[in-house]
Each structure stands twice: as C-alpha cells, then as structure tokens.
Structure 1
Amino acid sequence: MGSALTTIGLPVALGIIMFGLGLGLTLGDFARVARHPRAVVVALVCQLVLLPAICLGLVALFQLPPVLAVGMMLLAASPGGTVANLYSHLFHGDVALNISLTAINSVVAVVTLPLITNLAIAIFDPFDGQLGLQAAKVVEVFLVVLGPVVLGMLVRRIRPGFADRMDRPVRVGSLVVLVVVIAGAVASNWAILVANVATLALITVVFCAVSLTIGFLVPRMLGVGRRQAVASSFEIGIHNAVLAIVIAQTVIGSVELSLPAGVYGVLMLFVAGAFGLLIRERGTTTRAAGTTA
C-alpha cells in the first residue's frame, strides 16, 4: 500500500470511525451490562475464547501460509464496531446491548488483541523469529483503539447536543470511510491480493458465517432473549477490519498480514446481510406461529 495512505490515510480513517463510536457512548453504556449480565458474559466468552479457537482450527484446516494465518488470528482478535451496531439496528437486535458490548470489547481488546496476535506469531513464526507486538507497540494499539473513543465520549459529555446532531452523520461517514479504506487497500495491493484471494475468500466467508451463527445460537441455547442474541450475533460476527488493517500495516509493518482483513472487509458485508435476512425470516415465522422469544 502506498506510504501516504498507510501512514496518514489509514490511521485517520480509523480515528474517524472510533471517534464516531465514542460519540455514541456514555459511562451508562458500561453500567448497562448489569441489565443483561448473561448476554454480555456469553457474548464475551464467544468473542474472546471460542472465535480465536475456531479461527485457529480453520487456519489449520485451510493450511494457510504463516503470515496469512497470523493475519486471520489478528482479525479474529479485533472487536466489533459501528458496522455491527448498524446491522443490529437493521435486523431488530438490541442496539443498546450492541453499544455496551462494543464499549467493553474496545477496552478488553487493548489486552486481548496483542495477546492473541503474539500467540499466533509464536505459533506460526511468519517473521523468522522476530517478535511481534512489544510493549511500545501495545501502547500504539491502546492509542489507536481507545484514544479516539475516549475523545468522542468526552465530546458527548461536554456537548451532548452536538454529539446527538453529529451521531447520524458520523455513523454514515464511518461506513463510507470503511468502504473507501477497504477499497483503497484492495486497489493498492491488487497484485498481491489477486495472488491470495483464492486462498482467502473461502476461509473469510466461512469464518464470518460461523462467527455470526455462534453469536446467535449459543446465546439462544443458554436462554438469552432473541433481540439480545441478534445483537450478540452481529457484535461477534462483524469484526473491525479497518482496525486489523491499521495494526497490520502501521503497527506491525506487514502488508501481507493485512490481506485477510482486506478480503474479509469486503465479503463480510454481504455475508452479514444474508445472515440478517435469514434470522429475520426465522423470527417472522416464529411470530406467525404464535411463539414468543
């Protein structure tokens, strides 16, 4: 990817997305966890334990080259974001729960993302013994993930009216930025992407579909309400591809490491949409049969 886009465009784009996320958060979103403790705990266990384990299994099954394997694990470790909230809204999930889960995941990811990524680097050794995210780079992850979020939350606290007015424009802008950044990543690395797309397309689609399914079915099997399960599904199934790309290219310094996130970022929009239609149809059928969730 071109240096200007990598060093300036990607961090700025991610900053806009995370700032928009912060504009919609308050401290009450963290406190709301007490209202749905089971849903939150189940979603976090799925996000932090099940998904990395499943991703590791898929990587082994598809026999990915080491650098792409680590890229997939980095993607699995990335939290959800505003796109997950948008899909939850479209398909009648508990968006308030989505917001709380996103807030918690953004904080927890500061620890879990470097941990999972370093573990993957240790297992697959794509850099010939070179270590991954060290202390200084973990600080970078902290600033990349939480800095703009905290700033957005401060703006909401100081100027709530401004934050409310900007909420929709920033959400729309974040989605546009997401599409533009991923498109830029694809265009700038077209040759290397084409060389690997056949390898990555299927595994990213499978990973996204499995993540969405687990995020919906596991909470339902454990007695979580349907709207909360829909929220959990999109929070777990839609990862922040831009965050994974930024960390891969600007923090770790590897274009190849960002390829899984680039392919996933395009395909997950369609997979999540199809999944949303599927579970919405199920909900309609259930209500038509007179069954309550």
Structure 2
Amino acid sequence: MALAATLLPFALAIIMLGLGLSLTLADFKRVLAYPKATLVALGCQIVVLPALCFGLVILFGLPPVLAVGMMLLAASPGGTTANLYSHLFGGDVALNITLTAINSVLAIITLPLVTNLSIGYFASDGTLLSLEFAEFAKVVALVLIPVAIGMLVRAYATAFADRMAKPVKITSAVVLLLVIAAVLIKERENLGDYIASVGLICLIFSAVSLAIGYYAPRLAKVERGQAIASCFEIGLHNATLSITVATTLLANDQMSIPSATYGVLMFFTATAAGFLLRSRSARLERSAA
C-alpha cells in the first residue's frame, strides 16, 4: 500500500488545488443568492445521506470495517467532478462551486463526527481506531491550503488559473485512478468477496444519492438547473478524501474498499443520471412548445 500512501496526499492536494483555481470569495457569498437551493442540498449532504447509508448498511448486514467505510464515504463532501457533470448536463455550475466550497469546510466537523459515531456503533469492541480530530487536522490542511493557494492564484493571475484548470483536472483524475488501482491491487486476494459485499450497496447508494440530490430540491420548488447541480453535488462524493482518511489516519486498507468501489461506479451512475435528466429536459421542452 506504499504507492497509495504516497499518492493519496498528492492526489487530494491536486484535486483541491484544481477546486481553488475555480473559486473566488464571491463563491462563498453566493449562498445568499441561492438560500433555498443551498440549504436543501446541504441538508441532504449532512443529514439525509448518512441516514440513508446507515439504513443500507444495516439492511445489507455489512461487517464493521466495511460498514464504517460506507459511513465514511457518505460523510465525505461532494467532489470537484460534480462541477464537470453539472456543466455537461445543464446544471447551475456556479451553485456547484458554492456547494463544493461550503461542503469542504463543513466536512472538517461532520466527517470526523459521523465516522467516530459509526465506529462507536459498529465496532464498539475497540477493534477499529477512532478518528482523532487532531490527526484529521492534517487532512484539513491538505484540503484547505491547496484551495487557498488556488484562490490566490486566480485572484492575482486569472489567465494563468484558467490555463491550468484543465491540466490540473486531468492530473487529478489520473492520480485518483492510480490510487483506486493501488487499493484494489493490494486487496486483490479478497477483491471478489469485497465486491460481493459492497458492490451492490455502493451502486444503490450512488443511484439513490443522485435521485435525492435532484428530487429533494425539486420538491422544495428549486428551479431545474439548480436541482441538476444539486443532483451531481450530492451524488458524486470525494472518494479520494475518504480513501485518504481510511488508509492513513485510520490505518485500515479494508475500510477504503467501499470508497474505491464507489469511486469507479459513480462515473457510470452519474453519466446515466445525466442522460436521463437531459432526456427529461427534452421532453419538457417538447411539451411546452
């Protein structure tokens, strides 16, 4: 797992640098312009998804280490991939950027809280390490410092930030794939059992997360473009962050298997959701004509 341990901090830093290159202070203030959409999406992210994941874990009867791994994934904020999917399928990208920025900050509190509560519930015998807030501060630094650097670059060298946005995204995607491959190779002897254990639950969790992300805002009368943005923000978690926490801070490679499995499946479910939303938009336009 040495390769993954080396690549993970680098991957996370690159991904968050890419986010920072697309952010300005106005993105954090934009919550005032989209209060309903922002509050509904954050409520889904912080409350609904962990509750949903907990129910699925109980339903599937996962062993403690995989159960905690699923809850760690559910507590992770949306990833920067959501911005790309939102752009491709007609979402409000500005809202995506705002939600990603706020979620990444809130995760400083919510991720350790959900993870430790899960460890206390599923592994109360002390077989799993707890996530120390002091240790999590190291990951926080890997999240916030690159974002701050990216924002500074954008503020003082906007043209350079625009040129670097695409290479940084490509690099982060490649490194993420290498990390997932390293995790899967390390656990290859047990891979069949893991996929049998978490493949279906990860698929269901991904699909239902995308559905909640879209329909919860629509039920709250949020306009369609913002609901699409919420769909991808809620449905595409930062798998790199959850893998990093599992393998480095909690020193448990098995706990990262749900995130690694999800990190592959989410591209298929998100793409399917995008085409379904596009098809629905086309039908609505035809009916309105």
TM-score normalised by structure 1 residue count: 0.95
User: Which residue number in structure 2 is paired with residue 50 of structure 1?
Assistant: 48
1:236 to 209, 219, 234: 234
In structure 1, runs of 5+ residues without a counterpart are none
Deviations 1:107-135 (A, max 9, x none): 00111001110110111117726551113
Match of 2:277 among 275, 279, 287: 279
Give the C-alpha shift of residue 189 in structure 1.
2.2
Instruction: Tell me, in whole angstroms, the C-alpha distance in 2 between the residues paired with 1:146 and 1:250.
Output: 18
- The C-alpha deviation readout for 1:236-259, integer Å capped at 9, x for no partner, is 001011111111001111001100
1:187, distance to aligned residue in structure 2 (A): 2.3
Hey, what does 2:259 align to over in structure 1? 261
CA distance in 1: counterparts of 2:239 and 2:125, whole angstroms: 22
Q: Distance in 2 between matches of 1:32 and 1:90?
A: 22
Name the counterpart of 1:120.
118
1:176 positional shift: 2.5
Q: Which runs of 5+ in 2 are unaligned?
A: none
Give the Cα separation in 2 of the matches to 1:142 and 1:111. Answer: 10
Q: Amino acid of the residue matched to residue 206 of structure 2? A: C
- The within-5 A match list for 1:150-169 is 150-169=148-167
Tell me the secondary structure at the aligned position of residue 289 of structure 1.
helix
Deviation digits for residues 11-61 of structure 1, max 9, x if unmatched?
111111111111111111011111111000000000000000000000000
Answer yes or no: is the 8 Å Cα contact 1:21–1:81 preserved in 2.
no
Match runs of 1:213-252 below 5 Å:
213-252=211-250
CA deviations on 1:167-208 (whole Å, 9 max, x unpaired) are 122122222222232223222322222221111110000000
Please give the residue correspondences for 1:1-293 in structure 2 after superposition, counting only pairs within 5 Å: 2-3=1-2, 5-125=3-123, 128=126, 131-290=129-288
Supply the RMSD in Å over aligned alpha carbons.
1.4
CA distance in 2, matches of 1:33, 1:171: 25
- For residues 166 and 138 of structure 2, what CA distance do their matches in structure 1 show? 29
Mapped partners of 1:261, 1:135: distance in 2: 21
Give the drift of 1:143: 1.4
> 8 Å contact 1:110–1:145 — kept in the other structure?
no
Looking at structure 2, the residues matched to 177 and 6 of structure 1 have their Cα atoms a distance apart, in angstroms, of 10
Q: Which residue type is aligned with residue 29 of structure 1? A: D
C-alpha deviation, 1:98, in angstroms: 0.3
- CA 131–178 in structure 1, closer or farther in 2 if over 3 Å, else same: closer
Amino acid at match of 2:94: A
Residue 262 of structure 1 deviates from its aligned partner by 0.6
Number of residue pairs the alignment of both structures matches: 289
The answer as to whether partners of 2:213 and 2:234 remain within 8 angstroms in 1 is yes
Structure 1 stretches of 4+ with a deviation exceeding 4 A read none
**Counterpart code for 1:35:** A
Report the Cα distance in structure 2 between the residues aligned to 1:253 and 1:6, rounded to whole angstroms: 12
Between 5-14 and 228-237, the greater mean CA deviation after superposition: 5-14
Q: Is the 8 A contact 2:4 2:179 kept in 1?
A: no
* Aligned partners of 2:65 and 2:128 also within 8 Å: no
CA distance in structure 1 between the partners assigned to 2:128 and 2:79 by the alignment:
31
